Structure 1
Amino acid sequence: MNTESNIIQYALNDPLTGSYFYFTNDLMSDLKNSLSNPSANRIIWNRGTGQFKFYCDEKTVILKENTFCTLTALNYINFPSNEQKVTAIVFNREFYCIRDHDHEVSCNGILFYGAQNFSVLKIPSNEVVPFEKLVDLFEKEFEEADSLHGEMLVSLLKILIIRLTRIGRNHIVGIQSDYQSIETIRKFNLLVEQNFRKCKQISEYAFMLNISSKKLSELFRYAKLDPPLQIIHQRTILEAKRMLLFTLKSVNEISEELGFEDSSHFSKLFKKITGKSPTAFRIRKN
């Protein structure tokens, strides 16, 4: 823990269990620790009045005042120099597994592992004070460090995730009060994350959700979200971009790994969505 210049940084790292948790109220002051665990999920909160810009999976992300971003270990992130102070909470699966405990927080498909793989959420003005108090509880807990310390941090993290999930649900316009429909959308997003390599058709996901393809498409239209097929394609091409940028695999190897029987079908879809062929995309970025 470091309190110099009002900077608070704290890490819980258990070599026996592999459990890792990191908290900082000034992310840019210690990126090394914040990014040191490659298997960690991250919650970033801009608590200041200025903007905080960074890059995630080839996209520019701008966090305005009192805006959160949730990231998984799958995301490739780059933080350029920025003097804006932001709070970051980093945790790995051994500390708290959001997949195994989805029944507790119901955040997957909304906060984490959605079709876009990261969420940006604006905190309503009437929610800012409760969130600030929650951060105060985190900081207070760092001073305790007794035998219940780890459990308390997990409890606080769960509260934070639940509150963010509620905000995320309200961001699904058109059906904010229809919790059953929101749950269907959430499950669809998670199913896409789990199956996009082998399942490319809406009908396959509709079958897993036990609804018709037509009803699934209508639900996304009412919610003013991208069509389900577009979400499936976007997730597939996002993975293709990652593999083109961060591996040495050939286009044919990537096509096969992503479940395409013919690499020409993969290249056609990639160009349709990105405007470039896979080879041209790789050359441009390198």
Structure 2
Amino acid sequence: MNQTFENTKIKGKISLCDALHENLPLLKDKGLYKFIWVLTGEIELVVDLQPVILTAGQLMTLSHLHHLEFVRVEGEYMALLFNSNFYCIHKNDHEVSCNGLLFHGSSHIIVFNLNEEEKRRIATLTGIMHDEFENYDYLQEEMLRVLLKRFIILCTRMAQNRQGIARENGLQFEIIRKFYVLVDTHYKEKKQVQEYADMLNKSPKTLANILSAYQQPSAIKIIHNRIEAEAQRLLLYTSKSAKEIAIILGFEDQATFSRFFKNALGMSTSDYRKTFKNKSEVV
């Protein structure tokens, strides 16, 4: 099964399929957000050079920035993919509140273990979506968009439940989510915790306490993780020089970037590229 709707005028796309590993155009499309969940057996993947094994009942979310490769498929799975032209999670953050929670630019991979009720809800929703892909009328696009929003909201609630978010402390967790969004947006020009605390109208200490209460990494670690992830992607998936990458990431010079990278990864940019380049694809 490979169902795709595409609005060619706005280049919006949504797909529901059970063999993404065999669909190279979809797999190589760098603009797609992805939900992948396993129905039976297991699948082995590589995400940003990190090995991942998903087993039955697990669901993974990936942003359009993550590089995905299938290594082994021994079971059944489903994949739901969409791009920002079909539904923009940034512009519509007030509707689904998933940005920074389900999707962010760091190399941290989000995987959920689904309970039976969650499996049932996902199966019901994707079943309706499957039928809607067959309705070729003027209402189809909006109906698919509504169903996608429902799917995202379902996964957002799952993520919130796993963080132990109750109504009385939901506003605190919203600060964490907004912090991740701000880091994704401004990491190239803002690298100090104080700058993000100011944008959140919080003190650095208050921000640190909120992150700690939800077992999140420290604020500076989150900022550095985002920079590291982008540096690794640029080294592995482009042919840009270390000097060019330093400029892209907002470092004052190549030497400062090189020190940052070596402190973070334990090797120079040139050694990192030589070691891992053959495992990636230059784009």
Query: Could you say whether these structures have the same fold, taking a TM-score greater than 0.5 normalized by the shorter chain as the test?
Result: yes
* 8 A contact 1:13–1:20 mirrored in 2: yes
Which amino acid in structure 1 is aligned with residue 18 of structure 2?
Answer: N
* 8 A contact 1:43–1:89 mirrored in 2: yes
- Indicate yes or no: 2:10 matched with 1:13: no
Stretches of structure 1 that go unaligned for 5 or more consecutive residues are: 1-7
Aligned length: 276
* Correspondence for 1:266 among 249, 257, 281: 257
* Correspondence for 1:41 among 33, 57, 77: 33
Residues of 2 paired with 1:103 and 1:117: CA distance? 24
> Residue deviations 1:152-193, cap 9 Å, x none?
1111100000010011122335x5552111100000000000
Q: Quote the RMSD (CA, aligned, Å).
A: 1.8
Q: For residue 236 of structure 2, give the secondary structure of its aligned residue in structure 1.
A: helix
* Correspondence for 2:151 among 147, 156, 160: 160
Residues of 1 paired with 2:19 and 2:179: CA distance? 35
How far apart are 1:91 and its partner, in Å?
1.2
> Residue deviations 1:122-165, cap 9 Å, x none?
22333221111111111222232222111111111000000100
Residues of 2 paired with 1:10 and 1:75: CA distance? 22
Alignment partner, residue 18 of structure 2: 25
> In the TM superposition, what are the counterparts of 1:219-234 in structure 2 within 5 Å?
219-234=210-225
Residues of 2 paired with 1:9 and 1:247: CA distance? 30
Alignment partner, residue 85 of structure 2: 94
* 8 A contact 1:47–1:85 mirrored in 2: yes
Residues of 2 paired with 1:88 and 1:33: CA distance? 14
Alignment partner, residue 240 of structure 2: 249
* 8 A contact 1:114–1:186 mirrored in 2: no
> In the TM superposition, what are the counterparts of 1:118-197 in structure 2 within 5 Å?
118-172=109-163, 177=167, 178-197=169-188
TM-score normalised to structure 1 length: 0.90
Q: For residue 186 of structure 1, give the secondary structure of its aligned residue in structure 2.
A: helix
* 1:114–1:165 distance in 2 versus 1, CA, 3 Å: farther
* 1:176–1:27 distance in 2 versus 1, CA, 3 Å: farther
Residues of 1 paired with 2:34 and 2:28: CA distance? 12
* 8 A contact 2:105–2:184 mirrored in 1: yes
Residues of 2 paired with 1:114 and 1:256: CA distance? 19
> Residue deviations 1:246-272, cap 9 Å, x none?
222221221222111133332222122
Q: Which segment is superposed worse, 90-99 or 178-187?
A: 90-99
- Indicate yes or no: 2:64 matched with 1:73: yes
Q: Which segment is superposed worse, 249-258 or 200-209?
A: 249-258
* 8 A contact 2:63–2:105 mirrored in 1: no
* 8 A contact 1:46–1:65 mirrored in 2: yes
Q: For residue 23 of structure 2, give the secondary structure of its aligned residue in structure 1.
A: helix
Q: For residue 85 of structure 1, give the secondary structure of its aligned residue in structure 2.
A: strand
Q: Which segment is superposed worse, 205-214 or 274-283?
A: 274-283
* 1:115–1:44 distance in 2 versus 1, CA, 3 Å: same
Alignment partner, residue 217 of structure 1: 208
The structure carrying a bigger strand percent of its residues is 2
TM-score normalised to structure 2 length: 0.91
Residues of 2 paired with 1:238 and 1:198: CA distance? 16
Residues of 2 paired with 1:172 and 1:277: CA distance? 36
* 8 A contact 2:66–2:107 mirrored in 1: no
How far apart are 1:118 and its partner, in Å?
4.5
